[in-house]
Amino acid sequence: MKKNWLIFSLMVWIGLSSSSAQEYPNRPVKMLTGYPAGSSVDLYGRAISSKLQKVFKQPFVFENKVGAAGTIAAEATVRAPADGYTLLNTASQITINPFVQKLSFNTEKDLIPVAQTLSISYILLVGPDFPAKNLSELIEVAKSNPKKFNYGSYGNGSGPHLAMAMLKKAANIDVTHIQYRGSGQMLTALMAGEIQMAFDTTTATLELIKAGKLIPLATGGSKVLEALPNLPTIAQKYPGFDADGWQGVFVPAGTPSPIVSRLNLEINKIIQEKEFRDLANSRGVIVTPGSQEQFTEFVKSELKKYEQVVRENNIYLE
């Protein structure tokens, strides 16, 4: 009798889940981001949200909940009902924050990765007047002048900070960390010579590179960029080096699997459309379609990688 009841309950649950996916969404959906308007996460997230609205024929309301390096938006998503009506569009910082902040949630357990949308490379940059014009020369100059040079980042625990921490360890160089409030301020300081080097994304720097205001020495990702085909990867000199950033969509843990699968399917379709690809390519960004399972495993590997980097370098968020 008990066995029959369990079978019946399972069939009812499967039926309800299937029904919920077919009916989803039947009211407005919120997509949250922890980054400000005009940022790359905002730019691509809004493009995806707009397309989802057309696909599902329901409003997708894009909302910026800025603060704590994306944590405020992530926390709001975790606390939302697990029904598919609150999505989180975020960046790779979400796999760094658990190790540099005190969070009220567990990133791996309380959020479901739905779909990775983009891979965004961090570029190692110097100003036009810096004596090194390639990675090998920079390493040589830095080793010959320990602690003489400064590098910038968006702050402790940010992607550019961790990318440089990884390079410092790989190349055994000693350069000093200077923090700024965001990419714009940091790049202004780099062009003014207040700092001598920094990592930043292609989205933020591609036009400045084309204008000759910044000099790219190498990309932190594992692949050569289509937008900068002659730029080598750091991994060519230091095998295994990978400091790529990325963006993706998450939902609260407990969201029905059929809804997660449907969102993954539709987001993958959107990011492979010509309009979205052209937007990404124009800013040196790589579209990264894939399954929900692939993204889940990728997020786990990123958490493991950054936990090691943070602990090895005693990094924390001030």
Query: How would you write the pLDDT of the chain (318 residues) with one tens digit per residue?
Result: 434 544 443 454 455 455 556 789 999 999 999 999 988 999 999 999 999 999 999 999 999 999 999 999 999 999 999 999 999 999 999 999 999 999 999 999 999 999 999 999 999 999 999 999 999 999 999 999 999 999 999 888 999 999 999 999 999 999 999 999 889 999 999 999 999 999 999 999 999 999 999 999 999 988 899 899 999 999 999 999 999 999 999 999 999 999 999 999 999 999 999 999 999 998 889 999 999 999 999 999 999 999 999 998 888 765
Asked if residue 141 belongs to a domain, the reply is yes
Asked if residue 291 is part of any domain, the answer here is yes
Q: How far apart are CA 276 and CA 269, in angstroms?
A: 10
Question: Distance (Å, rounded) from C-alpha 271 to C-alpha 277?
Answer: 6
Has residue 10 been placed in a domain? no
Same domain for 201 and 157? yes
Say if residue 188 is in the same domain as residue 265.
no
Q: What CA–CA distance (Å, rounded) separates 98 from 102?
A: 7
Whole-number pLDDT of residue 317: 62
Domain end, chosen from 182, 211, 236, is at: 236
The answer on 215 and 110 residing in a single domain is no
Is 2 domain-assigned? no
One domain, residues 130 and 206: yes
Comparing CA positions, the residue from 190, 173, 178, 189 lying closest to residue 136 is 173
- The β-bridge partners of 60 are 29
Last residue of a domain, one of 236, 254, 275: 236
Q: Is residue 203 in some structural domain?
A: yes
Among candidates 136, 222, 219, 147, which has minimal Cα distance to 171?
A: 136
Establish if 41 belongs to a structural domain.
Answer: yes
Domain that holds residue 154: 122-236
Q: How far is CA 148 from the centre of its chain?
A: 31
CATH number at 292 reads 3.40.190.150
**Is residue 132 located within the same domain as residue 271?**
no
Q: Check residue 22 and give its pLDDT.
A: 73
Q: Do both 222 and 171 map to the same domain?
A: yes
Same domain, 151 and 220: yes
Distances (CA, A) of 267 to 130, 264, 286, 298: 42, 5, 15, 17
Helices 202-210 and 40-56 meet at what angle, rounded to 10?
120
- Tell whether 130 and 198 lie within a shared domain: yes
Evaluate whether residue 318 is within a structural domain: no
Structural domain contains residue 1: no
pLDDT number for residue 313: 87
On whether both 202 and 232 belong to a single domain, the answer is yes
Q: How many domains, in total, are found in the chain?
A: 2
pLDDT at 18: 52
Domain boundary pick from 190, 211, 236? 236
**Same-domain check for residues 225 and 267:** no
